């Protein structure tokens, strides 16, 4: 058996196409959606991510407002910039690219963003809304993972889902979203002894631990659905996930590739959140 490939790139393109008329409707109502993207420093990976996000804005019809600040920018200066963006009516969403330089607290920066412009879904108000099942912005990567699972026509109710990773950005919110769909959820992480014993019971695996090819095919339950959030470099410098794709695809029923799986979906869901924020701001939501 060889797994069906879950093509995140193609799904993201479909979602982007569906967003265009919503952006057009907003523009016709006199409000072009606006996303402020703030990049502090010159981290190469962050620059690539920001470029991809700006390109996605152009495709959808969202105005991207780009702010590039030096690596020496102080925390106070960045917080001042965020406050100005919070008060700018042309801005529907604010995205501060992480990681930030050592002198700036990510927690303080995330807390400073107005919850109604928190299109990354990282604010404690957004996290609290997710925890309690109230409306709010979902974090883009877990949101994208759920859309990928949905695209496979997979019913999560009663299934055992194992999340590998416990970050605030992916692991924890992912577990909550899976619970909302009535899955039984186990959260594992880098310090879980005998990870394989949990994975062999898993109908669904979401790998988000940041360790290249940690999960091998022999650790998986035959026919399971595997979503690989990892973005690592292998011994040859090639992009790879947390799952050893070649061995896993011989065991799993469905699997996402790296690249071309979750990455494009994260950006598609950022665009979704931005359009939703704009619709709320003009009373169309």
- Active site members: 53, 97, 120
Q: Which token pair is 120?
A: 């990354």
Q: Which token pair is 178?
A: 């899976």
Residue 226 · residue 250 · CB < 8 Å: no
Of 230, 252, 265, the C-alpha closest to 154 is: 252
CA triple 176-179-185, angle to 5 deg? 95
Rounded Cα distance between 150 and 82, Å, is 35
CB-based contacts of 29, cutoff 8 Å, min separation 6: 282, 284
Rounded Cα distance between 192 and 64, Å, is 41
Rounded Cα distance between 246 and 234, Å, is 13
Residue 203 · residue 195 · CB < 8 Å: no
Q: Which token pair is 137?
A: 């912005």
CB-based contacts of 21, cutoff 8 Å, min separation 6: none
């Amino acid at each position: 058996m060889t797994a069906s490939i879950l093509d995140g790139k193609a799904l993201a393109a479909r979602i982007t196409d569906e967003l265009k008329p919503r952006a057009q409707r907003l523009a016709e109502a006199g409000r072009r959606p606006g996303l402020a993207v703030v990049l502090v420093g010159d981290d190469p990976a962050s620059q690539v991510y920001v470029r991809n996000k700006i390109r996605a804005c152009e495709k959808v019809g969202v105005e991207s407002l780009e702010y590039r600040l030096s690596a020496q920018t102080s925390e106070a200066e960045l917080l001042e910039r965020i406050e100005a963006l919070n008060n700018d009516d042309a801005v529907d969403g604010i995205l501060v690219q992480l990681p930030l330089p050592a002198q700036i607290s990510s927690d303080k920066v995330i807390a400073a963003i107005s919850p109604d412009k928190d299109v990354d879904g990282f604010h404690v108000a957004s996290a609290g809304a997710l925890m309690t099942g109230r409306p709010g912005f979902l974090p883009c990567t877990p949101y994208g993972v759920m859309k990928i699972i949905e695209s496979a026509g997979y019913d999560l109710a009663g299934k055992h889902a194992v999340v590998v990773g416990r970050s605030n950005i992916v692991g924890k919110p992912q577990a909550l979203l899976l619970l909302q769909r009535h899955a039984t959820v186990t959260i594992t992480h880098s310090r879980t002894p005998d990870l394989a014993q949990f994975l062999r019971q898993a109908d669904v695996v979401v790998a988000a631990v940041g360790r290249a090819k940690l999960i091998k095919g022999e650790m998986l339950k035959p026919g399971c659905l595997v979503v690989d959030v990892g973005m690592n470099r292998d011994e040859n410098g090639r992009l790879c996930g947390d799952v050893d794709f070649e061995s896993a695809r011989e065991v799993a029923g469905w699997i996402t590739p790296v690249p071309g799986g979750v990455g494009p979906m994260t950006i598609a869901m950022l665009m979704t959140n931005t359009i939703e924020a704009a619709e709320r701001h003009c009373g169309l939501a």
